[in-house]
Amino acid sequence: MKPIIMSNEEVIAAGGNVRIINDFDVQMGSVYKSDLSNRPLVLMQIIEYTRAFTMGRISFGKLNLILIISGAFSVFSKKWAIAAGGYSPQIIGEDMELVVKLHRYLAENKIKKRIEFVPDPVCWTEAPESLGVLRKQRRRWHQGLIESLSKHKKMTLNPRYGKIGMIAFPYYWLVECLGPLIELGGYIYVIVAFFLGKVYVEFAILLTLLFVLYGSILSAFSILLDSWSMNAYSGIHLGVRNFFKLILMSLTETFWYRPLTLIWRCEGFIQVLLGRKSWGNMKRVGLSKKK
């Protein structure tokens, strides 16, 4: 609430950090154990969350370009949320939809307000531990993204909506929405070209190593910034061993985790085309399962 209280009502919505707590020892709302999970699927989600919140939302928040603040940990001014139309029950990604509607309402009425990301407070959440549940989650997320962008497509590259229309919307269309289709098409092209003998193998290997290195550097920087600067783990120190565990795991992302999430996000397009709207059964194991 700090940016809202101190901004004299300039800030009308804010979102906080969301972190994964699988395999931590939680008792009466307090975290007593900080050893990370040994399961690759959980570790990859920790890396993904840290990178997304640390690298993405902080920079977008500074420029007032945020289109998504997590429904799990966000606060909205009731007055402005109602003025913008409130939640849209027909949209599967209602948290993003409300943020986009707020930006649209403010721009169309020439009102200067801000939506911010606050990195210090942390909401701990249990991440999916199976491929099936994670698939449903990512498919739903991408379907909600497509629906919101499509519903408000008139904002794209429209000067009337300022930075949101000229920067945020093109970015989300090209990188977040269409990015999986473009990247998956690239993978398919490389595989086909390889069997047709049209790939310069040495150059392909070099590019792959560069992609892996690039992703690992981003992950390492995000984890360092998260642990040292913002104290997002609420005083819980990951330690050198856990830090390098995350870095080593990030080296494998390109070879298994990223292709899987690309396929699942592409399935979101199919869901939209078929007109299917399903939240899916988000099965949770529970934090006290190992007691």
If you average pLDDT over residues 204-217, what whole number do you get? 77
Give residue-wise pLDDT tens across range 136-192: 999 999 999 999 999 999 999 999 999 999 999 999 999 999 999 998 888 888 888
The more confidently predicted of residues 152 and 218 is 152
Is 288 a domain residue? Answer: no
Is 86 a domain residue? Answer: yes
Write down the residue that tokens 């109602």 correspond to. 82
Give the domain range for residue 152.
Answer: 2-274
Tell me what pLDDT residue 287 has.
Answer: 66
What mean pLDDT, rounded, does the chain reach?
Answer: 86
Among the listed residues 37, 21, 51, the one whose alpha carbon sits nearest the alpha carbon of residue 220: 51
Structure tokens at 136: 């449903």
Among the listed residues 242, 2, 243, 246, the one whose alpha carbon sits nearest the alpha carbon of residue 121: 2
Tell me what pLDDT residue 230 has.
Answer: 46
Give the span between the Cα atoms of 143 and 93, in whole angstroms.
Answer: 7
Give residue-wise pLDDT tens across range 53-95: 877 788 898 899 999 998 889 999 999 999 999 998 888 888 9
Tell me what pLDDT residue 140 has.
Answer: 93
pLDDT bracket for residue 234 (50, 70, 90): very low
Is 160 a domain residue? Answer: yes
If you average pLDDT over residues 226-235, what whole number do you get? 52
How many structural domains does the chain have?
A: 1
Is 162 a domain residue? Answer: yes
Is 116 a domain residue? Answer: yes
Tell me what pLDDT residue 201 has.
Answer: 79
Pair 116, 61: CB distance under 8 Å: yes
Is 282 a domain residue? Answer: no
Tell me what pLDDT residue 152 has.
Answer: 97
| Least confident range of 66-80, 171-185, 218-232, 238-252 | 218-232
Is 84 a domain residue? Answer: yes
Tell me what pLDDT residue 228 has.
Answer: 62
pLDDT bracket for residue 233 (50, 70, 90): very low
The 3-state secondary structure of the chain reads: CHHHHHCCCCEEEEEEEEEECCCCEEECCEEEECCCCCCHHHHHHHHHHHHHHHHHHHHHHHCCCCCCCCCCCEEECHHHHHHCCCCCCCCCCHHHHHHHHHHHHHHHCCCCCEEEEEEEEEEEECCCCCHHHHHHHHHHHHHHHHHHHHHCHHHCCCHHHHHHHHHHHHHHHHHHHCHHHHHHHHHHHHHHHHHCCCCCHHHHHHHHHHHHHHHHHHHHHHHHHHHHHCCCCCCCCCHHHHHHHHHHHHCCHHHCHHHHHHHHHHHHHHHHHHCCCCCCCCCCCCCCCCC
If you average pLDDT over residues 38-44, what whole number do you get? 91
Whether the predicted pLDDT of 281 surpasses 80: no
Spell out the residues 6+ positions from residue 14 whose beta carbon is closer than 8 angstroms to its own.
Answer: 1, 3, 4, 69, 74, 75, 115, 116, 117, 118
Is 117 a domain residue? Answer: yes
pLDDT bracket for residue 291 (50, 70, 90): very low
Tell me what pLDDT residue 236 has.
Answer: 55
